[in-house]
Each structure stands twice: as C-alpha cells, then as structure tokens.
Amino acid sequence: MNLENAVRKYLDDNFIFRMFEIDKWLYNRFIFRYKHKHKQGVESFSERLDIDFLSSSELNSWTIVSDRAIDYFLSDFSWHIIKEYKVLAGTKGKKKVIKDLMLSMITNDLHKVVHFDKRIEPMFALNRIKVSNTKVLPINKRTPVYPGIGETCYIFRGSGSSKIVDPCFIYEKDEDNKMFKVMYFTNFGDYHLPTKKLKINGYGFTSVYPTEIGKTPEEAVMNKF
C-alpha cells in the first residue's frame, strides 16, 4: 500500500469529519470538526439541524481540525503505520507530506456538510446596536411584547451607561405566550463574557418573558432582561 492510500485508510477507519454550516455563518470561513469513529452516539446528521441542537452541548463535543489536531493524527498514524506495515514515517520531509495529505483529504472529500435551519443564517450578518436616550422602565410600566416564532427581536442584557442591544431569533414559545425561547447574537470576550463591541462573534440561548424583550432596540432597553 502506498503512502497516500495508507493515510486515507487511517483517517477513514478512525475518524468522522464534518463541516457544520453554523461555523461558516459565524466565522465566515470553512471549519472542519472530527470525532473518533468508534465512540458511541456519533450521529450521521442526515437531516437539517434545528436550533435545539445548538442549544445543547453536542456541537462542542466535535473537535476542530486545528494544527494541533493534525499533529495528533500524524503521531498516531506514525505509530499505526510502523505497527501495520513496518514502515517508518518519521523523517521531517515525510512528516510534512503526510500532514499535507491529511489536511487535503479532510477538507476536500473526507468530510460531510451538516446543514442547519436556514432562518438563522441572516442573523450572523447583523450587528449589535448601541442605544442612546432610552431608559430602562420598571416592570409595572413596561409594555409586553408578543413576537411570533421566527421573528427577529432584540434583547438588552447589559448594565451601566453603555446600552448595547443584541439581536435575537424567537424559536419557541409556550401556548399561553408567557415565555419565549430565544437565540441571541452577541460579542464574547475572554471567559465567554460579553464585550462592548458591536460585531457579532458568538451566540447564546435564554428564555424571556414578554416584558423582557423588544421588537426594536429601544424597546429592548425599556424592557431590560
């Protein structure tokens, strides 16, 4: 077996590779993730995924194919090829060839694309909005908001003088319109804490009452979460 076929067999026998559409929307570039093939509960994702998948921790259980991951593949493959074929894959030049082969195979034909609810794709093109000259209202003076599923609204989760509002997507509500589940789009910094930057670089999930959301940025500030 030649080197290229050995690399392909190793990757195909041991790993599952996916390109999750949500990563492309968020980071505006292709990101590939993997899991060990022999782990339990690895799904095929034959259908378009909904927001409930994102609100779970399942996406984070898929490891990003980074330089570090490729180094791990190389190390494991080198041990594997010595064991199986009694061939040494350790020279510096050969290591680069193998790493390039692995990356090419993963990004070109070993991965499958996982599709998501297309309704949230436009949300990643939005920005957070800074609101001025609007005050937070007491609960008893707020006007309840009753959005429909699929609507874009706004949520204000901050404090202090910098009133920065996050756009959000309504994806579920109870029968009595007393509680709404939203996916909000924000900017996270260190330790996953929100920043004051307006560019969206992440998302989160929460549940809100009708008096904790707005159909406009100003209304979101008045109905502070």
46 plus 150 within the same structural domain: no
85 plus 156 within the same structural domain: no
Measured distance CA(221)–CA(137) in Å, rounded? 8
Boundaries of domain holding 50: 3-116
135 plus 197 within the same structural domain: yes
pLDDT at 11 exceeding the cut of 80: yes
134 plus 197 within the same structural domain: yes
109 plus 124 within the same structural domain: no
Q: In sequence order, which residues have a C-beta less than 8 Å from that of residue 84 and are 6 or more positions away? A: none
* pLDDT per residue as tens digits for the range 99-142: 999 999 999 999 999 999 999 999 999 999 999 999 999 999 99
170 plus 138 within the same structural domain: yes
How many CB atoms neighbour CB 198 within 10 A?
A: 14
146 plus 56 within the same structural domain: no
Q: In sequence order, which residues have a C-beta less than 8 Å from that of residue 135 and are 6 or more positions away? A: 221, 222
107 plus 27 within the same structural domain: yes
Q: Which residues pair with 190 in a beta bridge?
A: none
* pLDDT confidence band for 94 (50 / 70 / 90): confident
Q: State the pLDDT at residue 88.
A: 53
Tell which of 51, 85, 116 closes a domain: 116
- 180 exposed, middle or buried (CB, 10 Å; 0-12, 13-18, 19+)? buried
50 plus 96 within the same structural domain: yes
Q: In sequence order, which residues have a C-beta less than 8 Å from that of residue 129 and are 6 or more positions away? A: 154, 164, 165, 167, 198, 217
104 plus 172 within the same structural domain: no
Least confident residue range of 32-36, 153-157, 172-176, 180-184: 172-176
Measured distance CA(26)–CA(91) in Å, rounded? 38
Distances (CA, A) of 54 to 7, 58, 100, 115, 138: 32, 7, 31, 12, 33
Tell which of 116, 145, 176 closes a domain: 116
Tell which of 88, 116, 144 closes a domain: 116
Q: How many structural domains comprise the chain?
A: 2
Least confident residue range of 46-50, 64-68, 219-223: 46-50
104 plus 143 within the same structural domain: no
- Which is it for the CA torsion 56, 21, 198, 190, positive or negative? positive
Which spans in the chain are helix H? 3-14, 21-27, 51-55, 67-85, 92-105, 217-222
Tokens of 157: 């989760």
109 plus 154 within the same structural domain: no
First to last CA, the chain: 62
Q: Are 181 and 172 in contact (CB under 8 A)?
A: yes
